[in-house]
Amino acid sequence: MPGRLLIATGNPGKMREYQDLLKEIPFKLVSLRDLGITHEVEETGETFEENAWLKASEYAAISGILTLADDSGLEVDALSGEPGVWSARYGGDSSASDQDRVALLLKNLENVPWEERSARFRCVIAVAKSPLAPLYPDSDREGGASPFDKGGREGDFSGSSPDASGEAASPFEKGGQEGDFDPQQPTLVAQAEGSVAGMIQYTPQGDDGFGYDPVFYLPSYGKTVAQLSLDEKNRVSHRADAARKAVKILKNLTADS
């Protein structure tokens, strides 16, 4: 029986994307809603990597199962990389919806010519293993030890690596700094990053995306991300790019289990 993988999102659109992106891995995907988890992790990190780990580790501790979380955002060159890690909170309390945040972005780019409206979506995925349960509930492996506890790096993978005493150390302990491994805390077993470049167009177009998708124009497709089909989006998006790398890691983890 395959183990469960918690996708740490309450966003139905993002969950649909992950169900398609991760269809090759032998895990049953469950959402926060499926598990009745209403807790919201405070995203206090200053980078996508830190926020992805905060969410993956906290939800792994709450759920007791392997957890995948991402942090993603839009970086606009003309705005010195903003909104960046604050993409989902751009404008603060005065921007309560995706439409509000898109409107604010367009207002801030009001006098910026087309050739200077370059931007990119970035996504960082972190997968955390809970200390409370093995990767597979029916597995014979005591404690569900991760094959990545031995350390090493493959592609964009960042795993736990042993220190001089042979103890494993998480690369994201204490807010992104290396620290001593705590067996009662979740362990980072995978990390992957993806990105896609485009332009910010002047008006929103398309109904099939969310967030900034309606104004993120892809020159190679001649349309915005919100105008792409799910199949097209899952070939080119920043989340798809990161997910492809995460799939390779999770397949290796499964093969070594």
Which domains occur in the chain, in start order?
4-255 (3.90.950.10)
Write phi, then psi, for 28 (nearest 5 degrees).
Answer: -90, 120
Q: What would the two tokens of residue 19 be?
A: 């169900």
Quote the CA–CA distance of 186 and 168 in Å, as a whole number. Answer: 12
- Give the tens place of pLDDT for each residue, 67-117: 999 999 999 999 999 999 999 899 998 898 999 999 999 999 999 999 999
How far is residue 244's CA from residue 256's CA, in Å, rounded to a whole number?
19
Q: pLDDT 10s digit of each residue in the chain, 257 long?
A: 568 999 999 888 889 989 999 998 989 999 999 999 999 999 999 999 999 999 999 999 999 999 999 999 999 999 999 999 999 899 998 898 999 999 999 999 999 999 999 999 999 999 999 877 554 444 333 333 332 233 323 333 333 332 333 332 333 433 433 344 455 688 888 899 999 999 999 999 998 878 999 999 999 999 999 999 988 988 899 999 999 999 998 888 766 55
Q: Which residues does the annotation mark as catalytic?
A: 71
Which residue intervals of 119-237 are DSSP H helices? 173-176, 230-236
Q: Answer whether 224's CB lies under 8 Å from 215's CB.
A: yes
